[in-house]
Amino acid sequence: MNYFSSNFKLGILGGGQLGKMMLYDTRKFDIYTCVIDPSPEAPSRLACDEFTVGDLLDYDTVVNFGKKVDVLTFEIENVNVDALETLEDQGVKVFPSSKTLRTIQNKATQKLFYRDNTIPTADFSRFAHTSEIEDAVGNGGLSYPFVWKSARFGYDGQGVKVVRRYTDLIDLPNVECIAEKLIPFKNELAVIVARNEKGDLKTYPVVEMEFHPEANQVEYVICPARIPDAIAKKAELVALKTAAAFKHVGLLAVEMFQTENDEILVNEVAPRPHNSGHYSIEASYTSQFEQQLRCILNLPLGNTESKVAGVMVNLVGAEDYTGDVVYKNIEKIMAMDGVTPHIYGKKETRPFRKMGHVTIVNKDIAVAREVAEKVKRTIEVISE
């Protein structure tokens, strides 16, 4: 199949920042792209060849969009999976597959999948409604503390809460959910696994994630992770085992905990480019976004090694600001060596909304981390 400067059409469900960054590479390769997103202001609208406004959860909308492309992928999990199944039956290639997405889309089925495939993960209980948790605690089936996770539609710290006492349950939505054992851990790690249709596999280096204590969002992604080689190897093997179980085509970002006794437990996965791989645009031989294209188009996989150490800082809306966005002090960070900001194109900021990221590269990871701290202190995402 000729993908380059041809009649081939790639469809992307979702026009957010992940789609926008993938379009850097479709532009580089001159691959014709069609994007659909519910927002007429979606970041991807300017960089694709055809942009459609439409509801990603509406069956007919997704089927009609998918019919006009040759390969369909997604940059967000909240899409209509029945529509993807129909398109597969009609001969449209959908990567990752509807089967992979159906398992991952629901955190309860995702956790059951790990259990069924002997993939190490934290113990959990599944509930049809949050209201059932109180009874489970009352009859001794569950004890505090635990992590409550909504089974559907959670992202970026939404739909997740640490429950330490009864009062923490009060404001939670009454939805299908899981209660997961709270794991004391040393590190949160992630490995991105790339797989094409031929079954070729490559992993990116293990990264370490530092979280914001209040927002439950990643503040820094550090590559390579500052962990012993033996732990990195263990994390890579768990990620490969997880990817093998899914038999996915595309990228699979595997988020893991390194426990106090150096066990590796899978927290959750994402079947798409992921926040933990943004550093790769500047720091790797092949960015995660180019690799996603190579995977879903069954092309040879690119080199996943890093050219240089990298730290990624998320740019999120400052707490007390809502309105037209201003990136205060952006010139100051651009004056620092090895610093590259990525602005996602969202016009309106609000507290903790992901508005962009900054990559810091340096031969020395310790120096990169210091500069990242400086970047974090300097730039502010505020409104006019």
DSSP letter at 121 equals B
In angstroms, the Cα distances linking 61 to 10, 44, 58, 235 are 17, 18, 5, 39
Is 107 annotated as a binding-site member?
Answer: yes
Q: How far lies 266's CA from each of 49, 123, 210, 224, 299, in Å?
A: 38, 11, 17, 19, 29
What are the structure tokens assigned to 302, written together?
Answer: 């690119």
Would you say 41 is a known binding-site residue? no
CA-CA distances (angstroms) from residue 371 to 183, 185, 191, 375?
31, 26, 24, 6
Is 50 flagged in the annotation as binding? no
Return the ∠ at Cα 273 (arms to 228 and 326), rounded to 5°: 100
CB atoms within 10 A of CB 51: 17
Q: How many CA atoms lie less than 13 Å away from 73 in the CB half-sphere? A: 24
Block residue for tokens 């026009």? 15
Residue 182 assigned to a binding site: yes
Q: Is 181 labeled as ligand-binding?
A: yes
307 marked ligand binding residue: no
Buried (b) or exposed (e) across 134-168, using 16+ Cβ within 10 A? eeebeeeebeeebbbbbbeebebeebbbebeeeee
Query: Is-contact 157 148, C-beta < 8 A?
Result: no
Query: Computed from CA positions of residues 48, 50, 55, 60, in that sequence, does the dihedral angle turn out positive or negative?
Result: negative
Residue 33: alpha-carbon gap to chain centroid: 21
- 183 a known binding residue? yes
d(C-alpha 8, C-alpha 89), whole Å: 20
- Which residues carry a binding-site annotation for ATP? 107, 149, 180-183, 188, 267-268
- Which residues carry a binding-site annotation? 107, 149, 180-183, 188, 267-268
